[in-house]
Amino acid sequence: MNKLIAPSLLAADFGRLKEEIEMINASEADWIHIDVMDGLFVPNISFGFPILKYINKYAKKPLDVHLMIVQPEKYFERFKEFGANILTIHYEACTHLHRYVHAIKDLGMKAGVVLNPHTPVHVLENILDDIDLVLLMSVNPGFGGQKFIENTYLKLANLKKLLSQGNGKIKIEVDGGIDLTHARKLFLSGADILVAGNSIFSSENPLETISFFKRI
């Protein structure tokens, strides 16, 4: 199994953002995860386009952009312009999910759908043939450093069962409160990509921690 790790820049030191990006470039990480929050869909505000442009200038890994915003469809072209390779949008924020997924794909990005912890996986039944990725939130979105929700393992198993009935090419990403104590079970339960923030950027040796995630 190919284990992918996506360090979340939300946990990085913004005072030395270039150095943090260069650390990820030099690491065994696969993607760079970018959480975009608008203060409406979630109670927090994070990266805007000027920061994303800066990240794209230095990043050498694919940019995995997670939109925690209302009306995400207004900004798809701009996220493409500023380097997004993967764009994930929340089921809970999208009235016309099928239309938005295809708008993302038409721009040449991979399209993913995000589910909040309370949202059951069966809501994806009618979109599975159209998406590249499902992102399961293992915390309530909006803030880093939250406690991992243990029910995520069951939800992951339910998603794997659903995918086995159809599009087996869809990747499963898990995001929120993940550290090395969760990683092995998440991978064994079917996750393909793990997002890790504080567990990487607050460690004494982030490069080594990323390596541990890859080899766990």
CA 79 vs. chain centroid, Å, equals 15
Q: Write the burial class of residue 74 (CB in 10 Å: 0-12 exposed, 13-18 middle, 19+ buried).
A: exposed
* Contacts of residue 93, Cβ cutoff 8 Å, sequence gap at least 6: 41, 67, 68, 69, 70, 71, 72
Whole-angstrom distance, CA of residue 10 vs CA of residue 82? 17
DSSP 15: G
H or E element that contains 148: none
Catalytic residue among 13, 30, 35, 192: 35
Catalytic residue status for 35 = yes
H or E element that contains 186: helix 180-188
What are residue 85's phi and psi, to 5 degrees? -100, -35
Catalytic residue among 38, 132, 175, 179: 175
- Give catalytic residues, as residue numbers: 35, 175
